[in-house]
């Protein structure tokens, strides 16, 4: 039996009171309360992954409601802001003690993908509420955690075998199969 293991698009979401991105000592983007999101794009991500991640980011319940009930309101519900930062290092593997990033989408292709992802987020929410860093630049990200709350989401895994699509594997199943 041949087992195929695919990487999938991922996001590390940090709930923040504020966040900013600087390049060469200059702040290029900043937000107030909301989420700072590190976006990892791997070499086999597609528009379905992009759409899933945008929908999930805008709908997950990260915040308290007006009665202080936990995990009841989304970024959209609260009219909060988003700061996205492209993060190819989320797709590292190890070669001894050295990180290897061959699972990350190549730079030019991932820039186009990331730009489309940011555009999709802006079009799905409020353009002025979605900020980002400078793709490919050496950046400094500063944030004030709220909680702290840090969550990881991944797009569902789709494996094609012949003309049939199988159900997406759960994260635990993917991790179990990765070592085989």
pLDDT digits (tens, 9 = 90+) for 53-78: 999 999 999 999 999 999 999 999 99
Q: Give the pLDDT confidence score for residue 159 in this predicted structure.
A: 56
Is pLDDT above 90 for 177? no
Is pLDDT above 70 for 88? yes
Residue 175 has φ and ψ, to the nearest 5°, of -65, -40
Q: What residues contact residue 160 under an 8 Å CB cut-off, 6+ apart?
A: none
* Percent of the chain with pLDDT strictly greater than 70: 83
Task: Report the alpha-carbon distance of residue 65 to residue 87 in Å, rounded.
Answer: 31
Is pLDDT above 90 for 160? no
- What positions carry a catalytic annotation? 87-89
Mean pLDDT to the nearest integer, 164-169? 44
- The number of residues making up the chain comes to 180
The string of DSSP codes covering 46-105 is: -HHHHHHHHHHHHH---B--TT--TT-B-HHHHT-EEEEEE-GGGG-EEETTEEE-TTBP
Structure confidence at residue 91 as a pLDDT band (50, 70, 90): confident
Say if residues 74 and 80 touch (Cβ distance below 8 Å): no
**Rg, C-alpha atoms of the chain:** 17
Q: Give the pLDDT confidence score for residue 115 in this predicted structure.
A: 97
Is pLDDT above 50 for 166? no
Structure tokens at 175: 């991790």
């Amino acid at each position: 039996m041949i087992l195929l293991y695919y990487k999938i698009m991922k996001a590390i979401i940090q709930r923040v009171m504020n966040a900013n991105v600087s390049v060469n000592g200059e702040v290029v983007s900043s937000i107030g309360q909301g989420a700072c999101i590190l976006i990892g794009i791997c070499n086999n991500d597609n528009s379905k992954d992009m759409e899933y991640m945008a929908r999930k980011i805008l709908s997950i319940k990260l915040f308290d409601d007006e009665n202080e009930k936990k995990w009841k309101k989304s970024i959209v519900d609260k009219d909060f802001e988003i700061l996205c930062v492209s993060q190819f290092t989320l797709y590292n593997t190890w070669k001894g003690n050295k990180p290897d990033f061959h699972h990350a989408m190549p730079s030019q292709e991932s820039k186009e993908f990331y730009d489309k992802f940011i555009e999709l987020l802006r079009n799905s929410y409020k353009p002025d509420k979605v900020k980002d860093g400078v793709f490919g630049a050496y950046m400094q990200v500063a944030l004030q955690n709220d909680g702290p709350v840090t969550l990881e989401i991944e797009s569902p895994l789709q494996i094609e075998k012949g003309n049939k699509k199988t159900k997406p594997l759960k994260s635990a199943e993917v991790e179990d199969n990765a070592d085989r």
